[in-house]
Amino acid sequence: MRDQSRRSFFGLCGAAGAAVLLASCSADRHPDGGAPGPVTITHLFGETTIPEPPSRVVSAGYTGQDDLLALGVVPIAVTNWFGDQPLAVWPWAQRQLGDAKPVVLNLDNGIEVAQIAELKPDLIIATNAGVDAETYQKLSAIAPTVPQSGGDAFFEPWKVQAAAIGKAVHRGPQMQSLIDGVDRSFADVAAAHPGFTGKRVLLLAGRLDQDAVSAATGWRTAFLTQMGLTVAEAPAVIERDRIGSVLGDADVLIWTTESDDERTALLADPDIGGFESRSVFTSKEQAGAIAFASPLSYPFVAGQLPELIAKITG
């Protein structure tokens, strides 16, 4: 994961996630029954109308491929984020990808507008892509484009992104069913693990960032609450002189490590090593699933993370 992307994911949640979700839900002027006809979606830069179900979809942002694949829409291009996964698709979405070989884009130097144009898409999904007004205009000249719904250029609430993408590909009801299924999976975890109740948890980056610990905030921790845990109070950036006191207020510390080396480095830190008994260190795949926060990755989280937490909570 590029460092800037890691900081963005673990940074402060953007303004009024609930308000954005409401706006996104009210923006689709197409009835949820899925009848033929255009859909219009309101977003940060105005409105986008998709006249009919698309067949050549480009996923220009970090995580949109998961939402598309969850709906059975195989994109002709995806965007790499981190993890060095084949075709930028992680294990939880490989089955849905099948034998397809999408073009792999990247955002290292911004959105690759010229390359996207060569692909001749009929829909560009540009959520979680850091789109600005100028880039939106360029993309819209190629094909109908769905950028971020509100002020979060990256990592707007996952349900907002999923709902917008579902509606854009004319599969809104199907996406809502998937979202509901994720909610049920986390509720099932809570029911199966009554010991989670009242336990305070922090979701933390798997390595230090400029000698500080990054903590997930806002919607990024909602799945932990759904599993019955209580998210402990913490700033998005825990400075060195506060690491011990902030971590000490939590019963469970979930470090989204991607390797044994990251785990070793954390435990070697004098302000962190003493909390090993209350720490969960994720695998690379588990860290990726938490970061992707999608209808495909969250069931993977619900299937694997609770067992690790239960070793601490009893």
SS3 category, 220: helix
The tokens 């195989």 sit on which residue? 74
If you write DSSP's letter for every residue of 92-113 in order, what string do you get?
A: HHHHHHTT---EEE--BTB--H
Domain that holds residue 79: 3-7+14-170
| 222 and 120, same domain (yes or no) | no
Q: Would 177 be classed as within a structural domain?
A: no
The pTM of this model reads 0.90
pLDDT of res. 9: 59
pLDDT band at 62 (very low <50, low <70, confident <90, very high): very high
Overall number of domains in the chain: 2
Q: pLDDT digit string (tens) for 201-235?
A: 999 999 999 999 999 999 999 999 999 999 999 99
Contact 124, 146 (CB under 8 A): yes
| 146 and 214, same domain (yes or no) | no
- Which among 177, 240, 216 is positioned nearest to 13, based on CA atoms? 216
Q: Would 94 be classed as within a structural domain?
A: yes
Instruction: Tokens for 8, please give them.
Output: 């963005």
pLDDT of res. 11: 52
Tell which of 143, 170, 197 closes a domain. Answer: 170
As a whole number of angstroms, the distance between CA 51 and CA 58 comes to 16
| 204 and 294, same domain (yes or no) | yes
pLDDT of res. 30: 36
Mean pLDDT of 246-252: 99
| 296 and 228, same domain (yes or no) | yes
| 25 and 159, same domain (yes or no) | yes
Mean pLDDT lowest for which of 20-24, 53-57, 92-96, 152-156? 20-24
158, amino acid identity: W
Q: pLDDT digit string (tens) for 295-314?
A: 999 999 999 999 999 999 98
Contact 138, 121 (CB under 8 A): no
Those residues whose C-beta lies under 8 Å from the C-beta of residue 245, and which sit 6 or more positions away, are none
pLDDT band at 3 (very low <50, low <70, confident <90, very high): very low
Q: Would 49 be classed as within a structural domain?
A: yes
| 25 and 166, same domain (yes or no) | yes
**Which CATH number is 300's domain given?**
3.40.50.1980
| 94 and 125, same domain (yes or no) | yes
Those residues whose C-beta lies under 8 Å from the C-beta of residue 141, and which sit 6 or more positions away, are none
Q: Would 178 be classed as within a structural domain?
A: no
| 144 and 280, same domain (yes or no) | no
| 260 and 303, same domain (yes or no) | yes
| 144 and 196, same domain (yes or no) | no
- Which among 95, 7, 102, 22 is positioned nearest to 64, based on CA atoms? 102
Q: Would 181 be classed as within a structural domain?
A: no
Segments in the chain forming alpha helices (H): 3-10, 17-27, 64-70, 91-97, 113-118, 133-140, 158-168, 172-192, 222-226, 243-248, 260-268, 284-292, 297-313
Q: Would 30 be classed as within a structural domain?
A: yes
Distance of CA 23 to the CA centre of its chain: 19
